[in-house]
Amino acid sequence: MNEPLQALRGMEDILPPVSATWQHVENTLRGLLLDYGYQEIRVPVVERTELFKRSIGEVTDIVEKEMYTFDDRNGVSVTLRPEATAGIVRACMEHGLLRNQRQKFFSTGPMFRYEKPQKGRYRQFHQFDVEALGFAGPDIDAELLILLARLWRLLGISHVSLQINTLGTAETRQRYRAELSSFFRESFDLLDEDSRRRLDRNPLRILDSKNPDLAELIARAPQMTEYLDDASAAHFAGLRTLLDDAGVAHTVNPRLVRGLDYYGRTVFEWVTDRLGSQGAVCAGGRYDGLVSHLGGEATPAIGFAIGLERLVELYALAGQPAPTRAPDVYIVAAGEGTSRLAFRIAESLRNGVPPMRVEVHCGGGGFKSQMKRADRSGAQVAVILGEDEVAAGAAVLKPLRAGTEQQTVTVASLADAIRPYLAGLHTGPVIETVR
Ligand code: HAM
């Protein structure tokens, strides 16, 4: 016999009832972003490898060690997207969306990084990504952080704090990089293998090292603020004023450099101490140089991505049950010819004004077991159909929550008889926004 197969390591199934929390969190995010004037963009999960190498940077953990890269059947090197920004920027350039225009986009879906899986860190994970292109800021920088503060409030999440930093312009970073390089070179013996490798090509990333043995050395390293150009300093001060006005608490963390190369000026992370070592729930920043780096016209831009696995976990830890969606009516049908009537009634209740949420029992079984299911479904009433009811053009209406007696009503008057039991409840299919 064949061995049953299992999912790949680091690739998780999302099962009910947890999937209901995902829907709630995603719907809340989608509603919020639409309210702030952002539109959805959907881009492919697979892109040319070159796009990620050029955007994220060759000397980054993602590109060096974490990409799912393979040759397609035509010998073209392609990669499962490790993040969304590169693909969105590519799409904007390809479709001329940046020509004298500004764009505010959101997108969501799976990302892939070949990391060591652990709680909060997966090889397939999901991001909710937001990008604003064509805005020089700092107003838009503030808007993104203000809307995130609102998101935590909407979801009842309080254990997140905001860290911000500025990486200045490309020229400032170049000067700073040279300074950092010589600082760390003086202590070459103290550096670990990773940091030595980064020394020449990307010394800023040494600041990001999680190695506790390097903490003391990193604390003594020169800080970006000492090298910051006036325009970037003014941009940063402007952002901080807007955040203060909006009451968005934040800490300046001069060691916050981020693991992707496209950033300049504003960078930020929302972190929590509730998720063990994987504390970054949301991260992003400005990437004013990326569009021109990819061959387009210089376009200022900023964005962020939320790790949805981490957000869902935080939401659950905050003790919030995911809102459930029980049917209004559960139709129990046992006996010859009852299915046909059940479906006819169900569709007519769904067509009603207002429409009702109806679940029809499928899969057979006796009255008793069907009634058990009806009760477990959370429906307000059961509509019971047996052969006698079919013959008489009637149905038995049994309230499942209030203590009233069951009654027999004609099929034609069923909707009117059910309606009082649903008074004050939300009925009908909810398609969008739970807020
Ligand atoms: P990032 O910091 O690489 O930024 O990822 C953003 C968030 O995705 C992280 O803070 C974390 O919550 C989540 N995340 C990352 N890797 C994993 C993983 N292996 N498992 C679970 N969650 C993970 C970016 O991706 C940028 N594209 C953000 C951005 C958008 N910057 C500008 N625009």
pLDDT in tens, 27-50: 999 999 999 999 999 999 999 999
Average pLDDT over residues 221-225: 88
What pLDDT score was predicted for residue 296?
95
Closest residue CA from atom 11 of ligand 1:
307
Going from the Cα of 383 to the center of ligand 1, the distance in angstroms, rounded, reads 49
Atom of ligand 1 nearest to the CA of 121: 20
CA 83 to ligand 1 centroid distance, Å = 7
pLDDT, position 399: 96
Taking alpha carbons only, the member of 309, 253, 314, 306 closest to residue 284 is 306
Report how far residue 314's alpha carbon sits from residue 308's, in angstroms, rounded to the nearest whole number: 10
Tell which one of 12, 111, 286 to mutate to probe ligand 1, the residue whose CB is within 8 A of the most ligand atoms: 111
How far is Cα 74 from Cα 403, in angstroms, rounded to an integer? 68
> What is the mean predicted confidence (pLDDT) over 101-105?
97
**Residue 209 vs residues 20, 160, 202, 215, 218: alpha-carbon distances, Å:** 37, 22, 12, 8, 9
User: Each residue of 396-430: pLDDT tens digit?
Assistant: 999 999 777 899 999 999 999 999 999 877 644 44
pLDDT value at residue 402: 76
State the average pLDDT over residues 215-243: 93
The reported pLDDT for the residue numbered 230 is 94
Tell me which residues have their CB closer than 6 angstroms to ligand 1. Answer: 83-85, 113, 115, 121-122, 125, 127, 129, 131, 259-260, 280-285, 287, 303-305, 307, 309-310
Looking at the chain, the whole-number percentage of residues with pLDDT higher than 90 is 76
CB 348 within 8 A of CB 341: no
- pLDDT tens digits, residue range 346-393? 999 999 999 999 999 999 999 999 999 999 999 999 999 999 999 999
CB-CB contact of 148 with 270 (8 Å): yes
| Beta-bridge partners for 110 | 126
CA dihedral 22, 23, 26, 31 (to 10 degrees): -160
pLDDT grade for 338, boundaries at 50, 70 and 90: very high
pTM, whole model, 2 decimals?
Answer: 0.92
- In the reported structure, the alpha carbon of residue 196 is separated from the centroid of ligand 1 by a whole-number distance in angstroms of 25
Interval between CA 297 and ligand 1 midpoint (Å): 26
Nearest ligand 1 atom to the CA of 260 is 3
Query: What was the pLDDT predicted at 433?
Result: 39
Cα 43 from Cα 107, distance rounded (Å): 8
* Mean pLDDT, range 118-134, rounded to an integer: 97
Angle at 74 between CA 73 and CA 78, to 5 degrees: 80
Backbone angles phi, psi at 231, to 5 degrees: -65, -40
The whole-angstrom separation of Cα 286 and Cα 281 is 18
